[in-house]
Amino acid sequence: MVMDLLDPLTSHGGMDDAQRQTVLDDVIDTVNREFAGTVLRSPNESEREHVNVHIRSQVANAFRVHGLPPSSAEQGKLAEEIARRVMGLGFLDLLLPPARADLSEIAIYSSGLVQVMKKGNVRWEDANVDVDASEVWRVLNLILGPQSRSVNEATPSVNAKLPATRHNPGGGRVKVLHPAIAPGNGYPSVNIRLFEQKPVLPAWLLERNVMSSEMMEFLAEAMQSGKRILISGATRTGKTTLLSALCNFLPPAWRIVKIEDPEEIWIDRKTVQAVEARPKVPGSEVPAYTLADGVDDAMRMSPDYLIVGEVRDGRAAMALLRALMTGHAGACTLHADSPREAFERLTTLMGSDMGVSPRDAARMISASVDILVQIGIVHEARRLTSIARVDKKLHGGEAWFIPIWRYEESHNEVNGQWMHVENRELVE
C-alpha cells in the first residue's frame, strides 16, 4: 500500500486497512482477468482510458458488495492507485512524468525513506512519500523482469534501465542493492537517475550561469572543428549534460557514433548511431558487450565524430585513446575532481587494467586530447571551473596544460567570475 502526502491515502472514509486492501485486491484481480497483459503493460491512450473507466466502475461495485459507505473522493483515490499498479510503476508514477517533470534523481533508502533531487539542484530533499517494502519490490520486479534481471542474495547488486515511455522519453538508469549488502528495514536500496526528456540546449547552461558566453563560443568552435575534448568532473557535476549541450554545435552533416553505458545523451538529429554496452547475462553464455567493444566497432563505422560516455576502466580508456590518436575526432567524460586528477586517473586505469607504463600513458593522453574541460560545484551551483589546452609535449614525463579560462572562486557566489588567462603553467 502506498501513502503519499501529495496524494493522501491515509483517510479511508470509514474503511479500515483490511477492507481497503480487499477492495484493491478484488479490483486488480478483475482487471487482470478482463484485459490482456500486453494491453496493461503498454496501453495506448484509448486503451488506457477504457481501462480507467472499467477500474472506476469496479471500485464503485466493490464498495457496494462489501457494504462500505460511498465516498467519491476515496473511490477516486483507490481507482488512481489501482491504475498506477496495473498500467504503470505504482508509487513511482507519482514521481515520474507526467506527474512530475522537475526531477533528475530518485533515491529509496533501505530504511524506506524516499528522496528526490530536482533538476538544477545539487542536494537531496525528502519526497514525502511513504511506501511499503512489498510495493517497492513489486515495482522493481516490473522494471527488472523484462530485462532478464533480478536482485537477490546471490546477485545483490544490479544495474538496469528505466524504460523510455511517451511521457518520459529519456528513460533512466537504475541501481539496486539487495538488503543482504544494504541492511535496513527490508527495503532494497534504489537509485534512479532520470535522463533528459529532450535535447539539452546550450542556452540552458548559459541561463544557469554554468559558463560565460565567451567560453561557450570557444567550445562551440572546438566542436565544429572536430577537437578532441575530455570533460572531467565529480559525481552530479553535470558532465553528461554539458556534453549533450555541446553536441548541438557539431556540423549537421556529420555522422556521429555515440557509445554509452547506458545510453543517456540525446542528440536531436538523424545522423546519429547509438551503441550501448550491456552486462553479461546471468546464468547464460552471452558475453558482456563493453564500452571498449563499442569504440572498437565504431572505428569500422566511418564516424565523423565519436561521443563516448563516461570512461570507467583501462580497456575503455585504451580503446578511446587509440581511436583519437589515429585521427578520429571525439569527446568523452571522466570522473575526476581536477585536470591533474583526470590525467592521473586515466594513467592509473591504463596501468592497472592494461599494463601501460605511466610515461607511455601520459604520452598517449597528451597526443590524443586537445582540450580538457573541468566542471564542478561551487557554492551549491554547477560551474565550469577551467578550460585548458593540452600541451603535446611532456615535461618531466608529465602532461602540461595551457589554461584558457579559470573560475576565480570567492566567498560570495555573486562575485565569482571567469578569468581569461594566457599564461603557461602547470594546472593542478
Burial-class residue 97 by CB neighbours within 10 Å (0-12, 13-18, 19+): middle
Which ranges of 145-211 would DSSP assign to H, the alpha helix?
A: 202-207
At 296, is the secondary structure helix, strand, or coil? helix
- Start-to-end C-alpha separation, the chain: 53
Strands (E), 100-197: 103-108, 114-118, 125-126, 129-131, 157-162, 172-177, 189-194
pLDDT at 408: 84
pLDDT digit string, tens, across residues 116-148? 999 888 899 999 888 999 889 989 988 998 888
Residue with cell 473522493: 73
pLDDT greater at residue 5 or residue 106: 106
pLDDT at 14: 59
pLDDT at 120: 81
What is the share, in percent, of the chain residues with pLDDT greater than 90?
53
pLDDT greater at residue 83 or residue 105: 105
Supply 141's cell numbers.
Answer: 520486479
Q: Is the pLDDT of residue 414 over 80?
A: no
Q: For the chain, what is the mean pLDDT?
A: 87
- The C-alpha atoms of residue 247 and residue 196 are separated, in whole angstroms, by 14
pLDDT at 410: 67
Q: Is the pLDDT of residue 427 over 50?
A: no
Burial-class residue 63 by CB neighbours within 10 Å (0-12, 13-18, 19+): buried
Mean pLDDT value across residues 142-158? 90
Model confidence at 10, pLDDT cuts 50, 70, 90, reads: very low
Annotated domain spans of the chain: 2-87, 103-194, 202-420
Mean pLDDT value across residues 214-236? 95
pLDDT at 412: 57
Q: Is the pLDDT of residue 278 over 70?
A: yes
pLDDT at 169: 85
- Provide the phi-psi class of 339: left if phi over 0, else alpha when psi is between -120 and 50, else beta: alpha
Q: Is the pLDDT of residue 266 over 70?
A: yes
Q: Is the pLDDT of residue 215 over 90?
A: yes
pLDDT at 107: 96
pLDDT greater at residue 172 or residue 282: 172
Model confidence at 11, pLDDT cuts 50, 70, 90, reads: very low
Mean pLDDT value across residues 30-47? 81
pLDDT digit string, tens, across residues 281-295? 777 788 889 999 999
pLDDT at 158: 92
Cβ atoms of 306 and 260 within 8 Å: the answer is no
Q: Is the pLDDT of residue 178 over 70?
A: yes
Model confidence at 426, pLDDT cuts 50, 70, 90, reads: very low
Mean pLDDT value across residues 360-382? 93
Task: Decide if domain 103-194 falls under CATH 3.30.450.90.
Answer: yes
Model confidence at 334, pLDDT cuts 50, 70, 90, reads: very high
Choices 3.30.590.10, 3.30.70.380, 3.40.50.2300, 3.40.50.300: CATH for 202-420: 3.40.50.300
- The C-alpha atoms of residue 178 and residue 188 are separated, in whole angstroms, by 5
pLDDT digit string, tens, across residues 70-103? 778 888 888 888 888 888 888 898 899 888 999 9
pLDDT greater at residue 281 or residue 230: 230
Q: Is the pLDDT of residue 16 over 80?
A: no
Mean pLDDT value across residues 323-345? 92
